């Protein structure tokens, strides 16, 4: 196992005045055995950053280290990493066993050791009964476990996951998230996991990098990112529904944006006067969509309180200790 260090990493395509810079000086240290999620919207640079760690993309400037080695100029095969992709990348004509063993055979690992490694990985991932099958005989979730098994048998220093759950349905994604958590607990291998899904990020990460436009806006635990977002972007991206960000709310100062999570707004007899637009029932809770002047406000409320009627007026009070204040010009937390 090994730590990962990123020091002012930059990626540009092209040269000179026409160069398009897509990663803007990212610096972060991932500790040995840590599970870090890189999260952000499409086009934010998260996969590009992962591919630079893997050696599949050259870096323009900065330094990447795995363990104590600077790997800027090393080929992917020399970095002691294993990567799991979104599309599984299995050989359709090979059995599950042969797919998992292929890299070890190329490396001329003894056959008895290959079998031991494959059997151990198959047991961890609960795919032992499928070792003789071809990929076409497996479900999407089983194929993804085979892809993870192929990475495990390599016994790398670092796992790199590039949106591995994107092709699975919601139920399988939830199940596979649990399997990945279990896998990390058992193996303890340093891992970088890329996703655009904030639920995956919040449930899997020990720490997360939140990316926006090639910039790392925050690096912290899920609790830190959710409870103390560093910017308005992080506040609006992490959380479903997103944080309410209001420039004209009572209590907001000039040049200040006030933030409050939907679950930290209480329906009360007095307080902010809101016009109800719509109500969504989500089982044990409701989302109430309102207007405060011209600004949208979402309230997450207990379904036992009863449903407000669209078009009606209600009052809500933010919990003072849960208010967030941001600079309206820079978006930075105050």
Residues across the chain: 334
Q: Is 208 found in the same domain as 146? A: yes
Give the pLDDT confidence score for residue 140 in this predicted structure: 85
How many CB atoms are located within 10 Å of the residue 140 CB?
Answer: 15
User: Which residue reads 């992962």 in tokens?
Assistant: 50
Do 301 and 226 share a structural domain? no
Same-domain pairing of 146 and 250: no
249 has a pLDDT exceeding 80: no
Using the 3D structure, point to which of 230, 252, 274 is the last residue of a domain. Answer: 230
Look at residues 176, 204, 230 and tell me which one is the last residue of a structural domain. Answer: 230
Please check whether residues 283 and 217 belong to one and the same domain: no
Mean pLDDT of 223-232: 97
In a domain, 166, yes or no: yes
219 and 110 share one domain: yes
Q: Which helix (H) or strand (E) holds 326?
A: strand 324-327
Three-state secondary structure call for residue 199? helix
Residue 259 has pLDDT above 80, yes or no: yes
Helix (H) or strand (E) holding 141: helix 140-153
Whether 235 maps to a domain, the answer reads no
pTM for the structure as a whole? 0.90
Burial letters for 278-310: b for 16+ Cβ neighbours within 10 Å, e otherwise? ebeeeeeebbbbbebeeeebbbbbeeeeeebee
Element (H, E) at 201: helix 198-204
Full domain range(s) for residue 307: 241-327
Whether 22 is in a domain gets the answer: yes
Q: Tell me, what's the pLDDT at 18?
A: 84
**Least reliable range by pLDDT among 107-116, 121-130, 160-169, 300-309:** 300-309
**CATH number (domain holding residue 263):** 2.40.50.140
Across the range 281-306, mean pLDDT stands at: 88
Q: Are residues 58 and 186 in the same domain?
A: yes
Report the pLDDT value the prediction gives residue 98, as an integer from 0 to 100.
95
Residues 187 and 41 occupy one common structural domain: yes
pLDDT in tens, 201-211: 999 999 999 99
Overall number of domains in the chain: 2
Tokens of 182: 């279990």
- How many Å from the N-terminal Cα to the C-terminal Cα in the chain? 38
CA distance 261 to 296: 13
Residues 305 and 275 reside in one and the same domain: yes
333 within domain boundaries: no
CATH number reported for the structural domain that contains residue 45 in this entry: 3.40.50.300
Find the mean pLDDT for residues 119-145.
91
Same domain, 184 and 256: no
226 and 275 housed in the same domain? no
Contacts of 134 (CB under 8 A, 6+ apart): 92, 93, 94, 95, 96
| Residue 334 counted as domain residue | no
State how far the alpha carbon of 309 is from the alpha carbons of 133, 184, 201, in Å: 56, 47, 35
- Kindly state whether residue 14 falls inside one of the protein's structural domains: yes
Give pLDDT, residue 171: 83
Same domain as 15, residue 123: yes
Q: Which of 197, 230, 263 is the last residue of a domain?
A: 230
Residue 278 belongs to a domain: yes
pLDDT, tens only, 55-107: 999 999 999 999 989 999 999 989 999 998 888 789 999 999 999 999 999 98
pLDDT of residue 304: 67
Q: How many percent of the chain have pLDDT more than 90?
A: 74
Examine residue 236 and state whether it is found in any structural domain, yes or no.
Answer: no
Q: Is the pLDDT of residue 200 over 90?
A: yes
Beta carbons of 212 and 40 less than 8 angstroms apart: yes
Do 293 and 188 lie in a common domain? Answer: no
What lies within 8 Å, CB to CB, of 170 at 6+ separation is none
């Amino acid at each position: 196992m090994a730590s990962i260090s990123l020091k002012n990493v930059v990626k540009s395509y092209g040269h000179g005045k026409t160069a398009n810079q897509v990663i803007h000086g990212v610096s972060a240290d991932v500790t040995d055995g840590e599970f870090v999620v890189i999260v952000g919207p499409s086009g934010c640079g998260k996969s590009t950053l992962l591919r630079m760690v893997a050696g599949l993309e050259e870096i323009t400037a900065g330094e990447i280290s795995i363990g104590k080695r600077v790997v800027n100029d090393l080929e992917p095969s020399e970095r002691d990493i294993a990567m799991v992709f979104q599309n599984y990348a299995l050989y359709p004509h090979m059995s599950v066993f042969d797919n998992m063993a292929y890299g070890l055979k190329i490396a001329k690992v003894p056959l008895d050791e290959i079998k031991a490694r494959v059997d151990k990985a198959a047991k961890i991932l609960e795919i032992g009964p499928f070792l003789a099958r071809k990929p076409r005989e497996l479900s999407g979730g089983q194929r993804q476990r085979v892809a993870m098994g192929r990475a495990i048998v390599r016994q790398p220093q670092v796992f790199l996951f590039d949106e591995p759950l994107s092709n699975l349905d919601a139920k399988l994604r939830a199940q596979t998230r649990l399997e990945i958590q279990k896998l990390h607990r058992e193996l303890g291998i340093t891992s970088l996991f890329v996703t655009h899904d904030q639920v995956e990020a919040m449930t899997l990460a020990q720490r997360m990098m939140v990316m926006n436009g090639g910039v790392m806006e925050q690096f912290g635990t899920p609790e830190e990112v959710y409870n103390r977002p560093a910017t308005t972007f992080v506040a609006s991206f992490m959380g479903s529904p997103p944080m309410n960000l209001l420039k004209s709310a009572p209590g907001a100062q000039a040049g200040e944006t006030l933030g409050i999570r939907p679950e930290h707004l209480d329906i009360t007899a007095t307080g902010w006067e809101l016009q109800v637009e719509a109500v969504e029932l989500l089982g044990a809770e409701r989302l109430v969509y309102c207007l405060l002047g011209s600004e949208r406000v979402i309230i997450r409320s207990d379904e036992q309180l009863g449903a407000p009627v669209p078009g009606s007026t209600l009052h809500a009070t933010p919990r003072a200790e849960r208010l967030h204040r941001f600079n309206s010009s820079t978006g930075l937390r105050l």
